[in-house]
Structures are given as structure tokens and as C-alpha cells.
């Protein structure tokens, strides 16, 4: 993902400024003041710094290429069956309201008979892309495209299910509403029956 920012590095990811924490803390302090609060009172005295560290943590995916985790590969020993990792938990942040998005991802790919990656690497890819200001639709595409680009499988399918706090705590206030997104690539993009079979396996049990 290319980020439009003066501090964007050559690979399109942000370079973290040395004074990022202090700058963020200053803005949080300003928000508290604009709300009519007193950032100097005991309960809020350390809040700007805590919030700054929180933002740097939850948006840490801006400063890395999550696809790099997939470069750790090993021989498939001829295995050509599909690989599925279900119910990968993820936490992201809605880029429209900066509120949490909490959900689970199902990731499947069909090896080409050559190379596999560690199961935990798939979870790390999900986590890396989730730790950014996101749209669930974009997040789903980024995970699928990274697997397709690095592992060169015959097929990829990513399904994500999540609850968006911007729908729960504000606006329509619809707690429990779940958003489902998917992205299929390769053979599963063109074969609806095969795609349906994989999705059934994702939800089996």
C-alpha cells in the first residue's frame, strides 16, 4: 500500500519520525482541551502519552511490509491439497472514525506442489495489514494479494467477518452486526463450485 506522506519510504511505507510520540501526544492534549477537559488534572495527566503509545502500536503495520513473513517457505514434498487456517483473530481500526474493528479471518490457498509457508505466517500477514487505518474490504484484498504474489499458489481465498464499533457505539448503533468480505484469486475466482466447497470447509464444525 502506498501512503501519501512526505515521510513515505522507497517501499511505500511510512518512516516513523523520531518525535512521533511527542507529536501525537500534543494532538491528543489539544483534543482534550477542545472537548472542554483539563489535560492537567490527575486522571488525564498521562493520557496524551499513553494514547500516543497506543496509536503507534495499533498502527504499527504502517511501518512494515506484512508480505515479508511469507518469504519463509519450505518444500511441500509434493503436497497439492488445499491449506486452510480458520478463525484467525484480528483487530483493526476503521479509517473513517478511528474506532476498532474486531473479527476473524479464514485464509485458504492451493499450493502449486512446490513451496509452503508456515501456518503462523498467514496469521502474521493478517495482523500486519490489520494494524493500519483500514477498510475491511481493502484488508481482505491485501491479505489475498500478498499470498498470491509471494507464494504463487494455484488459488487463494480470504474471508473476513468483523464487528465495526463505528456501527455499534455511534450512528445506527447496531451491536452484533457482522460485516463479511471475501476475495478469491486464481482457480477459485473462476470456479464457483470449488470456491463454495472451500468456504464450506472454512465453516465446517
Residue numbers annotated as active site: 94-97, 136, 164, 166
- How far apart are alpha carbons 77 and 109 in whole angstroms? 16
Long-range contacts of 13-16 (CB under 8 A, 24+ apart): 13/62, 13/63, 13/64, 13/65, 14/62, 14/63, 15/63, 16/56, 16/63
Kindly report the three-state secondary structure assignment for every residue of 68-116. Answer: HHHHCEEECCCCCCCEEEEEEEEEEEECCCCCEEEEEEEEEEECCCCEE
- How far apart are alpha carbons 38 and 35 in whole angstroms? 9
Is 97 annotated as ligand-binding? yes
Is 69 annotated as ligand-binding? no
Cell of 13: 511505507
Cell of 85: 487456517
The neighbouring-strand residues paired with 26 are none
Is 94 annotated as ligand-binding? yes
191 three-state secondary structure = coil
Intra-chain end-to-end CA distance of the chain, in Å: 35
Write out the binding residues: 94, 97, 166
Write out the binding residues for Zn(2+): 94, 97, 166
Amino acid at each position: 500500500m502506498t501512503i501519501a506522506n512526505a515521510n513515505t519510504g522507497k517501499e511505500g511505507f511510512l518512516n516513523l519520525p523520531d518525535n512521533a510520540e511527542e507529536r501525537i501526544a500534543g494532538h491528543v492534549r489539544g483534543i482534550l482541551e477542545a472537548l472542554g477537559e483539563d489535560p492537567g488534572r490527575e486522571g488525564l495527566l498521562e493520557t496524551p502519552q499513553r494514547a500516543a503509545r497506543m496509536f503507534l502500536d495499533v498502527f504499527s503495520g504502517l511501518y512494515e511490509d506484512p508480505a515479508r513473513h511469507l518469504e519463509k517457505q519450505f518444500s511441500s514434498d509434493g503436497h497439492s491439497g488445499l491449506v486452510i487456517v480458520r478463525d484467525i483473530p484480528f483487530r483493526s481500526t476503521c479509517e473513517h472514525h478511528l474506532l476498532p474493528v474486531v473479527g476473524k479471518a479464514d485464509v485458504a490457498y492451493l499450493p502449486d506442489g512446490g513451496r509452503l509457508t508456515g501456518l503462523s505466517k498467514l496469521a502474521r500477514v493478517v495482523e500486519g495489514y490489520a494494524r493500519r487505518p483500514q477498510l475491511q474490504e481493502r484488508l481482505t484484498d491485501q491479505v489475498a494479494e500478498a499470498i498470491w504474489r509471494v507464494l504463487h499458489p494455484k488459488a487463494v481465498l480470504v474471508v473476513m467477518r468483523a464487528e465495526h464499533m463505528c456501527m455499534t457505539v455511534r450512528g445506527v448503533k447496531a451491536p452484533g452486526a457482522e460485516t463479511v468480505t471475501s476475495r478469491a484469486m486464481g482457480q477459485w475466482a473462476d470456479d464457483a463450485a470449488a470456491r463454495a466447497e472451500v468456504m464450506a470447509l472454512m465453516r465446517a464444525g
